[in-house]
């Protein structure tokens, strides 16, 4: 009888454990990332160091005047690695963190957006008297929607950021 009771207890315990495991909610399956990039450029008839200075490359919120946003606030740092700024687009407050920096470039990430957006603004020397502005964007377009929404988001960014680069080039080329 003792053996039967022990066997019954083991069967009950095993069944309860299996039921408990099966009843655990599972995490939703996430879609794999679908990264897309844009690389936009504008030519400048000035050396890289002059172009970087004229576009306000060392001003962590200098980009605001070229993107026509409502404002930019530095909330931490001064533009060095780990600095944080908040861009006021008029419809949202977007947090950006500096994740890379060189003498004539910086890269930022937007870690709180569903598309995990990153951008790099750089001035590259072409020769001693000419340079090129380069703005590279990368984001996960999975969260944007279907192919039509993704194409629209890409076209919108291309237009907006090329216009910003063109304004920067005009500022850099000014006498």
The pTM for the full model equals: 0.81
**CA 21 to CA 28: how far, in whole Å?**
17
Position 29 confidence tier, pLDDT thresholds 50, 70, 90: low
Q: Are 132 and 121 in contact (CB under 8 A)?
A: no
Q: 44: which strand partners?
A: 131
Share of the chain above pLDDT 70, in %: 82
Position 30 confidence tier, pLDDT thresholds 50, 70, 90: low
Closest by CA position to 30, among listed 142, 145, 112, 139 = 142
- What is the Cβ-side half-sphere exposure of residue 134, based on CA atoms within 13 angstroms? 16
**CA 10 to CA 67: how far, in whole Å?**
68
């006021």: which residue's tokens?
A: 88
Position 175 confidence tier, pLDDT thresholds 50, 70, 90: confident
In the predicted model, is pLDDT for residue 145 greater than 70? yes
Position 26 confidence tier, pLDDT thresholds 50, 70, 90: low
Structural domains in the chain, CATH included, are: 36-173 (3.30.530.20)
Quick one: tokens of 50? 């002059």
pLDDT of residue 5: 43
* SS3 state at 74: strand
Query: Across all residues in the chain, what is the average pLDDT?
Result: 87
């Amino acid at each position: 009888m003792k053996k039967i009771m022990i066997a019954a207890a083991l069967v009950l315990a095993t069944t309860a454990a299996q039921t408990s495991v099966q009843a655990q909610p599972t995490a939703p399956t996430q879609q794999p990332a679908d990264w897309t990039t844009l690389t936009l450029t504008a030519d400048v008839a000035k050396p890289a160091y002059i172009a970087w200075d004229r576009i306000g490359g060392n001003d962590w919120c200098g980009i605001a005047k070229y993107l026509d946003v409502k404002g930019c606030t530095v909330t931490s740092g001064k533009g060095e690695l780990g600095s944080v700024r908040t861009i006021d687009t008029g419809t949202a407050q977007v947090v950006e963190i500096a994740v890379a920096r060189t003498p004539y470039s910086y890269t930022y990430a937007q870690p709180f957006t569903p598309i995990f957006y990153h951008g790099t603004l750089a001035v590259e020397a072409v020769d001693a008297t000419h340079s090129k502005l380069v703005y590279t964007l990368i984001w996960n377009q999975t969260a944007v929607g279907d192919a039509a929404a993704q194409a629209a988001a890409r076209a919108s960014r291309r237009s907006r950021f090329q216009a910003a680069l063109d304004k920067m080039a005009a500022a850099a080329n000014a006498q």
